[in-house]
A and B are shown apart, each in its own frame.
Chain A
Amino acid sequence: MTTTTVAARQPPRRSLGGLPRMIALRLLTIPLVLWALATLVFVALRLLPGSPATSLAGGGSTDQSAAQLTANAAEISANLGLDKSLPQQYLIYLRDLVTGDFGSSYFGGNDVLGLIGNALPATIELTVAAMLIAVVLGGVTGLWAALRKDTWVDTTTRAAATVTFSLPWFALGVLGIVVFGVWLGWLPVIGRVPNQLSYQPLTNFVLVDAMLQDRPELIWPWIQHLILPASTLALSTAGFITRIVRASVLEVLGDDFVRTAQMKGLDENQVVRRHVLRNASLPIITVLGLQFGTLLGGSTVTETVFSYPGVGVLLVDAVLQRDYPVVQGAALAIALLFTLVNAAVDILYLVLDPRLGES
């Protein structure tokens, strides 16, 4: 009798059949998200007071009459296609986007794709480095606090996590610059790679380029430049991860299968390594994906503080100048990065938890 029940519940077909389909469905949502975001940015930009035409028409000279200014602005508007109706502009924007044309900057005429290609790798380096620091720091302290629950280790760690979690990036950044850059003089505080090294970007990922161009001397200065901004960015996320990891590990430690593992004769390390970590990682990974978005947001502040040539700085400058194509391109690039990371997180989740991917 039980044989029939079990035969109907045999695992392999069910579990493996659903997974690729679910991953494909998950990936299909990415273009939709990007389209929605492109639309949102397009509308938001045009709702902002001020137009690129007036800031271009001003051109720095103060001796133009108001009439001249208006005439200039109108001419510039026409040249840029900004005199067309909003729906028309939107359709043209979408058409260009689909054909891979991101336009060029209103200020200087640089190709937007080229600008992003230069800035995005720097931002990826910064956020990935920050993420690594945050995960290692938050993971270790969170696990430690959970395993030493209600001792001074736990209390101290939690207090420290709350403090770092509450510190704003700009304050941390300035503090880091003053202490480690100015007082102690241990670390560089500006830029990405020193000029005198005459770095010739190829992929613009310094690590990749150092290997491709066989220039290992680039790596150490690059890491030195990364330490302060990445740590600044990482610290608050690390505090957050500490709390999530602690809570998550504590919850799993209370689960019955942990007692089963102890019943088997496993020692504490084995129990944690083989049974607790993977189960506790499930909620943590989701949080990491979302925190990556916070890091991207924080990178705009951090990049500005450290004059770090990433997408954040590009975006901030472009918004101030109402440089529509650059804002739209940079926002889209950041959004693409974020959605890709979260899709990867969701897929990882499906792979890590066999209970999903079936229903």
Chain B
Amino acid sequence: MSETVLSIRDLKVEFDVPSGRLPAVNGVSLDLRAGELLALVGESGSGKSALTMGLTGLNRGPRTHISGTADYRGTDLVAASRKQLQTIRGADIAVVFQDALAALNPVQRVGKQVAEMIRQHQKISRADALTKAQTLLGDVGIPNPQQSARAYPHQLSGGMRQRVMIAIALANDPGVLIADEPTTALDVTIQAQVLALLKRMQAEHGSAIVLITHDLGVVAEVADRIAVMYAGRIVEVGTRDEVLNSPQHPYTIGLLNSMPRIDGPRPRRLAAIKGSPLSGVKRPDGCAFAARCEFVHDACAERPELAQRTAEPDHLDACFLPAEAKSAALRAGAA
């Protein structure tokens, strides 16, 4: 088992909203292992982005309340001062944002934006940083890096801009790279290229990657491990094969069943999870998914903890139901 770079315990991220305090992340515990690609899956509003922004402190502010711990190689990111976070950000934890056009400064040449990331954390001359930036741009697959470094973001295509963003994020070989839906704004062929690039960079730079996505197709392709989030909590986590092949939580099962499959008979209509996700400030005491769950029973009034409930030591889930009942449901859904 490889070492753990980031150890999150009972992390909560809450936002003040007019109706009260919204628990966007409601007690998450998760270990990120060095060099792995962990996919964080969940629907909109499940707290994926709030979790990762909470880790980097990018959503800190008077209306945000963060508690719990997030241990990055001996530093607790939650308790860290603003100054400490500034030295960690960019050097140890970097983020690839969803919309690269908006995430890049429109009036600065892209080479300079990569070089800025290098110079912020390394003692290096302006010229050397720019040369290094050009090398990085070449590494992420941008043609004519010398020339492209002089381009402004609007002069590059969407895929190229996301490559620039990845070059920026990887400039200092961070231990953790958070990719926040990096392919959502791109068309399908470019998506595949960017994912392949992330996978290659994971190997070359040795960064652990947290890939935030709601696209299970993406997950199946590149993830080493998968964590499924629902209503601010992780409901299931395991290796890719464990989660995709023997999902334990009814929500994961529902997600997988709602995916159209190329093999097998064509369903008349796509299976959907009934009901809608929790959105208000009020959360039930018990299982948050209970209201939508077809297996709901009395035990669900109590909150199920994320724990090992199968024979696999790495495969954790937060559902009281015995595995047999669920695998029957999975077969029924797939048929």
Q: Does A274 contact B (CB under 8 A)?
A: yes
Whether B155 contacts A263 by the Cβ 8 Å rule is no
* Contacts between chains A and B (CB distance < 8 A), count: 110
Known pairs A12-B147, A266-B86; A355 contacts B154 (CB<8 A)? yes
Select the residue from A257, A282, A355 with max chain B CB neighbours within 10 A: A257
Proximity string of chain A (299-323) to chain B, C-beta cutoff 8 Å, 1 when within and 0 when not:
0000000000000000000000000
A76, B165: Cα distance in complex, Å: 77
Proximity string of chain A (247-272) to chain B, C-beta cutoff 8 Å, 1 when within and 0 when not:
00000000111011111111100000
Q: Give chain B nearest CB distance to A7 CB in angstroms.
A: 7
Q: Does B107 contact A (CB under 8 A)?
A: yes
Proximity string of chain B (148-170) to chain A, C-beta cutoff 8 Å, 1 when within and 0 when not:
10111011110110000100110
Contacts of B108 in A (CB 8 A): 275
Q: Give chain B nearest CB distance to A252 CB in angstroms.
A: 10
Whether B143 contacts A275 by the Cβ 8 Å rule is no
Whether B152 contacts A265 by the Cβ 8 Å rule is no
Q: Does A85 contact B (CB under 8 A)?
A: no
Proximity string of chain B (46-66) to chain A, C-beta cutoff 8 Å, 1 when within and 0 when not:
000000000010100000000
Select the residue from B87, B106, B159 with max chain A CB neighbours within 10 A: B106
Contacts of A263 in B (CB 8 A): 56, 58, 89-90, 94-95, 97, 169
Contacts of A260 in B (CB 8 A): 95, 97, 103-105, 165, 168
Whether B157 contacts A256 by the Cβ 8 Å rule is no
Contacts of B309 in A (CB 8 A): none
Q: Does A166 contact B (CB under 8 A)?
A: no
Q: Does A160 contact B (CB under 8 A)?
A: no
In the complex, which residue of chain B has the Cβ closest to the Cβ of A265?
A: B90
In the complex, which residue of chain A has the Cβ closest to the Cβ of B93?
A: A263
Q: Does B120 contact A (CB under 8 A)?
A: yes
Known pairs A256-B97, A259-B97, A265-B90; A9 contacts B155 (CB<8 A)? yes
Count the B residues whose beta carbon is within 8 Å of the partner chain — how many?
A: 45
| Set B90, B103, B147, B150: member contacting A256, Cβ < 8 A | B103
Q: Does A6 contact B (CB under 8 A)?
A: yes
Q: Does A353 contact B (CB under 8 A)?
A: yes
Whether B103 contacts A257 by the Cβ 8 Å rule is yes
A10, B106: Cα distance in complex, Å: 16
In the complex, which residue of chain B has the Cβ closest to the Cβ of A255?
A: B102
Whether B116 contacts A264 by the Cβ 8 Å rule is yes
Whether A15 contacts B120 by the Cβ 8 Å rule is no
7 new A-B contacts at CB < 8 Å, known A10-B144, A257-B104, A353-B107: A2-B143, A2-B160, A255-B102, A262-B58, A264-B116, A265-B90, A354-B106
Interface residues of A (CB under 8 A from B): 1-3, 5-7, 9-12, 14-15, 255-257, 259-267, 274-275, 278-279, 282, 352-355
- The 4 A-B pairs at the shortest CB distance, nearest first, are namely A265-B90, A256-B102, A265-B89, A11-B151
Q: Can you list 28 A-B contacts (CB < 8 A)?
A: A2-B190, A3-B143, A6-B148, A6-B156, A6-B160, A7-B144, A9-B151, A11-B147, A11-B155, A255-B102, A256-B99, A259-B97, A260-B103, A260-B165, A262-B89, A263-B56, A263-B58, A264-B120, A265-B88, A265-B89, A267-B83, A267-B86, A274-B116, A275-B108, A278-B107, A354-B152, A355-B106, A355-B107
Interface residues of B (CB under 8 A from A): 56, 58, 83, 86-91, 94-95, 97, 99, 102-108, 116-117, 120-121, 141-144, 147-148, 150-152, 154-157, 159-160, 165, 168-169, 189-190, 193
